[in-house]
Structure 1
Amino acid sequence: MAIRFSRVTQAKQLLKRANSFTSRNASPFDVPKGYCAVYVGESDDERKRYVIPIAYLNQPSFQELLSQAEEEFGYDHPTGGLTIPCREDIFIDLTSQFSRSY
């Protein structure tokens, strides 16, 4: 339990640091080198912008999320960026698993 909690905490810190580069109206130029912006949420009202390391894109579980995004949105994303159609807590839990290796 303590190990899982620390991973979640690390992921939140990483995402918080990444979010310091962003806002809802941020431009694509606000993304630092080695990162990409994604929008996470099941509906337009819930979507939040996150800046994640591009290394996350190679993770099999993240690629599954990308497949779901492709099925739902195709390549015409309503926000103009990559949209991940999942709950924010699931996204944070998933990325917490990656953060221990980065």
Structure 2
Amino acid sequence: MGLVRLPSLIANLKSFSKLNSLMSRKYQSDVPKGHLAVYVGEIQKRRFVVPISYLYQPLFQDLLRRSEEELGFDHPMGGLTISCHEDAFVELTQRLHSS
């Protein structure tokens, strides 16, 4: 079931890429090629830049799936928003980075 949703996540990622291309050059320069910016937090959102390869990791896909169920894909921040504690997100990305 997890892979069934992956095409919709990738399609939405392409939409975010188009949005990024419309933003100023200064803003784009802080997101290296092969990475994407996400906003994390339950109330106060903090911006993180993560490798696109995380999109293929089951733990990250699960986190995205839960965020989609809670928030959908229409985000007021204009980017991908993940509703979870920052500490939990940092722990997850550290686990993905070390694997």
Structure 2: how far apart are the matches of 1:73 and 1:100?
29
Identical columns (%): 57
Q: Kindly provide the amino acid, as one letter, of the partner of residue 27 in structure 2.
A: S
SS in 2 for 1:27: helix
Determine the C-alpha separation between the residues in 2 that align with 1:77 and 1:29.
22
TM-score, normalised relative to structure 1: 0.67
Give the whole-Å Cα distance in 2 for the aligned partners of 1:85 and 1:28: 23
Q: CA deviation at 1:30?
A: 2.8
Unpaired runs of at least 5, structure 1: 1-25
Q: How far does the alpha carbon of each residue in 1:24-67 deviate from its partner, in whole angstroms, 9 at most, with x for none?
A: xx734531101000000011xx2100000111111111101101
Which of structures 1 and 2 has the larger relative contact order (alpha carbons within 8 angstroms, sep 6+)? Answer: 1
Q: Which of the two has greater helix per residue?
A: 2
2:73 partner letter: Y
2:49 and 2:68 map into 1 onto residues whose CA distance is 19
Where in structure 2 are there 5+ consecutive unaligned residues?
A: 1-25
Alignment RMSD = 1.4
Count of aligned pairs between the two proteins: 74
Residue by residue, what CA displacement relative to the aligned partner does 1:1-44 show, whole Å, maximum 9, x if unpaired? xxxxxxxxxxxxxxxxxxxxxxxxx734531101000000011x
TM-score by length of 2: 0.69
Which of 50, 70, 73 is the matching residue for 2:71?
A: 73
Q: Alignment partner for residue 93 of structure 2, among 88, 92, 95? A: 95
